[in-house]
Chains A and B, each alone.
Chain A
Amino acid sequence: MSALTFTLKNQPEFTLNVASLIPENLAGKTLAKIKSLAVIYGNETVKLGTLFTVKGTDPSQIFIEKSTQKLINIGQGMTEGSITIKGDAGDYLGQGMKGGTLTVSGNVGCWAGNAMSGGRINIIGNAGDYVGAGLPGDSFGMTNGLINIKGNAGDRVGDRMRRGIIIIQGKAGNYCGSRLHAGTIIVLDKVGKLPGEGMRRGSIILAKKPELLSATFKSCGNLKMQFLRLLFTQLASIDKELALFSKYGPEAHRFSGDLARNGKGEILILQHYK
């Protein structure tokens, strides 16, 4: 069986909501039926076949080709299978995702992985603001799963995140891990101002000192954190792409905070190379 492939015929002028293109929605449907599915284009509802050419037979593997940032809500609520996006993706990538794998070869918009509760998102390029965060009005951001961004991420990564792991191999913007409830955020390049602002629990692991750390974080000193060894070993065991930490030992400067909340979160600044 060949992967079910959607190729954009033309660059869309407006945002195109493709939330319906998830494996469980497409399973058992013929190509004709899939082409007749309704998608929201701008403020209109149109048939999928007018915007995409569709080929392939295996709905558990979906490819979206020539994708742009106009495509929003890709993989929304998916629970299984894989979606591979060649090109960029718009806002709300993997929103409420429960399982499966989403891979984007380009950049993505804001709110990637918001409210996701399982599965994995791989972003080869950069991501916008609010990765893994919760929408306004939501109690929590992502509650499980893993987001791996090879490039940079915008502001407020993991805002109100409840559980799960976000890895940013590049830089992260301001207020990284703001209002964090729990979970783990790792940034391997520079991070902006005030990481962990208002965090209650959880871990923000930084390879470099942040631009500005809030006075409401208290230094616990340089420590050998056994947890880091466990985390790095476990991530490497998930797959080779996550074996990113061989040059880091378990030593970190630990800051506990945000004391303005209840001070049970932590910012760990990796200290020594092996």
Chain B
Amino acid sequence: MKATRIIITAMTLKWAYRAANAIRGFASSVIACGIEADIERELKPSETPDGRPGISVMIFAMSIKDLEKHVATRVGQSVMTTATTACYSGLESDKKVSMGKSLRFFGDGYQISKVINGKRFWRIPVMHGEFICEETTGVTKAIGGGNFLVLAKTARHGLAACEKAVDEIQKVPGVITAFPGGVVGSGSKVGSKYKFLTASTNEAYCPTLKGQVKSELSDEIGSVLEIVIDGLDEASINEAMRVGIQAACSFGPAKGICRISAGNYGGNLGPHLFHLRKLLK
């Protein structure tokens, strides 16, 4: 996968969050959304290019072309439209995708380019004042789809453990959990009996199909939730999975957590393998 990090700033953190939440909307899976995106963390004013409060958002796509298309569209429709915002690159890299370079045309000839400290910024006059956007954002190779499954007695038990796991994962820099709340309620397998589908329900982990298919679930398991992690490198995904699994396991059987597993999808999802037992050693 390819990834970028953008920094959204605004007059207040509340408005930076509004833009960040808009950009990460409908960005849970590359399968149908084109990208996977989520908030990485809040940034203090001292950490942002313009000294205002900000949010860093990470965006993952299958190719640079996909990333370029979606970054420009989403920054244009989600960030530029949010009052008082500005958008900057949060990743230094030789490879870049357009951001302000595409959006500047919204300025209809009144846009102004500024090169400061070797970086080009576009000042686009808008009704709230000026929307400032860095020309490009850096792109790096990244890993998507690191995952583990929390097998619980009930959805209530599983969700409590997953919420804690996601809280811990969010403390690890360089990773995101792009699905809503960081938890997948409908984990998929690669492929389908239908030729037009690239992913379909993972029946081996569906509790309602236990008696109907070759199930991976024992009798006591009534709900399976998945946590999917995208990260900039293997080490950060390793760390995120480790803290996530430990957090989920801390609930134990007494609180309805029966097993931790992971989907390897027959090795069809990608070259990276994360062995759960090795992670916890």
Interface residues of A (CB under 8 A from B): 144, 163-165, 182, 184, 201, 203, 223-227, 229-235, 237-238, 264, 266
Contacts and interface: CB of A to CB of B under 8 A. Distances in A.
* Interface class of chain B by DSSP: strand
Contacts of B51: 229, 232-233
B49 A233 contact: yes
B129 A226 contact: yes
B116 to A, nearest CB: 5
Nearest to A163: B115
A234 B117 contact: yes
B242 interface: no
Given A229-B52, A233-B50, A223 B129 contact: yes
B115 A227 contact: no
B148 interface: no
Nearest to A233: B51
A225 B123 CA distance: 10
B275 interface: no
14 contacts: A164-B115, A226-B86, A227-B121, A227-B123, A229-B52, A230-B86, A231-B114, A233-B48, A233-B49, A233-B50, A234-B49, A234-B117, A235-B116, A235-B117
Nearest to A223: B129
B247 interface: no
Given A226-B86, A264-B110, A231 B129 contact: no
Interface of B: 48-52, 84, 86, 110, 112-117, 119, 121, 123, 129-130, 132
Contacts of B115: 144, 163-164
A237 B50 CA distance: 10
A182 B115 CA distance: 10
Given A229-B51, A233-B50, A234-B116, A224 B121 contact: no
B114 A184 contact: yes
Contacts of A203: 112, 114
Nearest 7 interchain pairs by C-beta: A230-B50, A233-B51, A234-B116, A229-B50, A234-B117, A226-B130, A227-B123
Contact of A225 (B48, B113, B121, B130): B130
A165 B50 CA distance: 17
Contacts of A230: 49-50, 86, 116, 121, 132
Given A224-B129, A226-B86, A230-B132, A182 B113 contact: yes
Given A233-B49, A233-B50, A227 B117 contact: no
A49 to B, nearest CB: 39
Given A226-B86, A227-B123, A235-B116, 10 more contacts: A144-B115, A182-B113, A203-B114, A227-B121, A229-B52, A233-B50, A233-B51, A234-B116, A234-B117, A264-B112
Contacts of B110: 264
B201 to A, nearest CB: 47
A42 to B, nearest CB: 40
Contacts of A229: 50-52
A263 to B, nearest CB: 10
B265 to A, nearest CB: 45
B61 to A, nearest CB: 27
Nearest to B115: A163
Nearest to B110: A264
B13 to A, nearest CB: 16
Contacts of A225: 129-130
